[in-house]
Amino acid sequence: MELNKLPTLYSIKRKLVELIEPDTAPIQYDFRYGGVDKAHFPLATWRKLSNLSLQPEKVELFSYGNPQGEHGLRLEIAKYLYDSRGVNCSPDQIIIGAGIQYLFNMLSSLIGSTNNNIAIEEPGYDGVRTIFRNNRFSIHPIRLDKDGINISKLYESKSRVVYITPSHQFPYGMVMPIAKRIQLLKWAKDLDGIIIEDDYDSEFKYVGKPIPSLQSLDANQRTVYLGTFSKCLLPSLRIAYMILPPDLMALYNKQDYRLYDQTVSWFHQKTLELFMSKGIWEAHIRKMRNCIS
């Protein structure tokens, strides 16, 4: 073969790229759940606050940071949740992590040491089902009534842990009424059980008045509360939070989870703290609600 007819390194590389990343037409309609309208993200404001966080005098932000999450951000989250969802907690009960799935993995490790059976809504969030299955939990699907999970079937399952999306059931969307929430809390008291309340998009409610979170109604402190900033800001920020009841918080400390490095950038945490403390977060939420009303 003549040398000038041999394939060049560039042409070989280009062919490999075409095989690995074939040309595709732009997606016109994205049906994947969990996406957000990026056009409404307050980029200019976020950039300004990020710059404030990156000032040379902020040298402490160059470190790993608090494994549980920075205290200033946890304080802002505690204040916001109390005002908006009635959640009762101190910043010391809040754990910040890079996405809700990371926190579910941590929670699986915490509760799996004493109970590895879990009841989940059927149908329900496939992501959490996979996480608990990968952590060797026995999954007990519980069918839904028109107002949420069937409490009688929950008792029959003999599970002492239940995962629930009461404020906006995924994927059906029903809202669990107060009466059923009280029944669910009674179940937790009767069985010394644990309720995992995923309040993944509590900022948005299309009809009716907001209903208090399960955690705010739980006098026996058997509820783990989880939330995320992915639905109102950007999923790529990877900022979620989990609120543990006192018993699980004590177990978290006993099992030395504080030796784990924090998974969320300290810079992003500081930027979000400023975003909340300056009132921009609540103004952004009001704007987003108007966009979907």
Q: Cis (ω within 30 of 0) for the bond into 26?
A: no
Angle subtended by helix axes 100-112 and 246-254, to nearest 10? 80
For residue 14, the model assigns a pLDDT of 56
* pLDDT for residue 227: 94
Task: Answer yes or no: are the C-beta atoms of 110 and 245 closer than 8 Å.
Answer: no
Query: Which region among 14-28, 167-181, 218-232 has the lowest average model confidence (pLDDT)?
Result: 14-28
Q: How many of the other CB atoms lie within 10 Å of CB of 252?
A: 20
pLDDT of 204 strictly over 80: no
Q: DSSP letter at 140?
A: E
Q: Which of 74-83, 190-199, 257-266 has the lowest mean pLDDT?
A: 257-266
Average pLDDT (94-112) is 93
- CATH number, domain 92-264: 3.40.640.10
Write down the mean pLDDT value for the chain.
85
Give the residue with greater pLDDT, 273 vs 26.
273
Q: Which residues pair with 95 in a beta bridge?
A: 242
Helices (H) and strands (E) counted in the chain, each on its own, are: 11, 8
Task: Indicate the pLDDT class of residue 110, thresholds 50, 70 and 90.
Answer: very high
Task: Tell me the CA distances in angstroms from 17 to 5, 14, 25, one per residue in order.
Answer: 21, 5, 16
Higher pLDDT, 24 or 96: 96
Q: Per-residue b/e over 133-154, b at no fewer than 16 CB within 10 Å?
A: eebebebbebebeeebbbbebb
Backbone φ and ψ for 28, nearest 5 degrees, come out as: -85, -40
| pLDDT tens digit sequence for 238-284 | 999 999 999 999 999 998 887 888 999 888 999 999 999 999 988 88
Q: Is the pLDDT of residue 1 over 70?
A: no
Site of tokens 């990020």: 50
Distance CA 86, CA 88 (A): 6
Length of the chain: 293
* Mean pLDDT confidence for 136-160: 95
Query: Where do the domains of the chain lie?
Result: 92-264
Residue 19 has pLDDT above 80, yes or no: no
Answer for the pair 282, 42: CB distance below 8 angstroms, yes or no: no
pLDDT at 73: 97
Query: Mean pLDDT over residues 120-124, rounded?
Result: 95
Calculate what percentage of the chain has a pLDDT beyond 70. 80
Q: 3-state DSSP call for residue 208?
A: coil
Q: Looking at the predicted structure, is the pLDDT value of residue 160 above 70?
A: yes
Residue scoring higher pLDDT (60 or 183): 183
Q: Is pLDDT above 80 for 134? A: yes
Q: Which residue has the higher pLDDT, 55 or 98?
A: 98
d(CA 124, CA 163): 9
Query: Is residue 57 pLDDT above 80, yes or no?
Result: no
